[in-house]
Amino acid sequence: MKRPIRQAISGAIYTVSSLLGVSAFLYPFFIVVSPQSPAQAHSNDAPLVTAALLGLLLMAMIVELQGQTLGAKMVALLGILTALNSVLRFIENAIPGPGGFSPVFAPIILTGYVFGGRFGFLMGVFSLLVSALITGGVGPWLPYQMFAAGWVGLTTGGLHLLRPLFGPYRHQKAEIALLCAWGFLWGLLYGAIMNLWFWPWAVGPPDQTWSAGLSLADGLRNYGKFYLVTSLAWDMGRAIGNVALILLIGPPTLRTLERFRQRFYFEVRPAHD
The residues spanned by each domain of the chain are: 3-264
Structure confidence by residue, pLDDT tens digits, 113-134: 999 899 999 999 999 999 999 8
Note the pLDDT of residue 226.
96
Note the pLDDT of residue 131.
92
Is pLDDT of 34 > 90? no
CA atoms within 13 A on the CB side of 205: 11
Distance CA 131, CA 137 (A): 8
Distance CA 227, CA 218 (A): 14
User: pLDDT higher for 111 or 41?
Assistant: 111
Mean pLDDT lowest among 39-43, 194-198, 246-250: 39-43
Mean pLDDT value across residues 31-36:
73
The contacts of residue 243 (CB under 8 Å, 6+ apart) are 180, 183, 184, 187
Q: For the chain, how big is the Rg over CA atoms in Å? A: 20
Note the pLDDT of residue 69.
45
Mean pLDDT value across residues 139-166:
89
Is pLDDT of 234 > 80? yes
Mean pLDDT value across residues 179-185:
97
pLDDT band at 48 (very low <50, low <70, confident <90, very high): very high
Mean pLDDT value across residues 129-140:
90
pLDDT band at 147 (very low <50, low <70, confident <90, very high): very high
Is pLDDT of 76 > 90? no
Mean pLDDT value across residues 155-172:
74
Distance CA 27, CA 82 (A): 30
The contacts of residue 273 (CB under 8 Å, 6+ apart) are 2, 3
What percent of the chain stands above pLDDT 70?
Answer: 90
Note the pLDDT of residue 169.
52
Is pLDDT of 200 > 70? yes
Is pLDDT of 102 > 60? yes
- Work out the burial of residue 97: count CB atoms within 10 Å of its CB; fewer than 13 is exposed, 13-18 middle, 19 or more buried: middle
Note the pLDDT of residue 268.
46
Note the pLDDT of residue 172.
77
Structure confidence by residue, pLDDT tens digits, 245-262: 999 999 999 989 988 887
Mean pLDDT lowest among 3-17, 131-145, 225-239: 3-17
* 8 Å CB contact between 64 and 12: no
Supply φ then ψ for residue 178, to 5 degrees: -60, -45
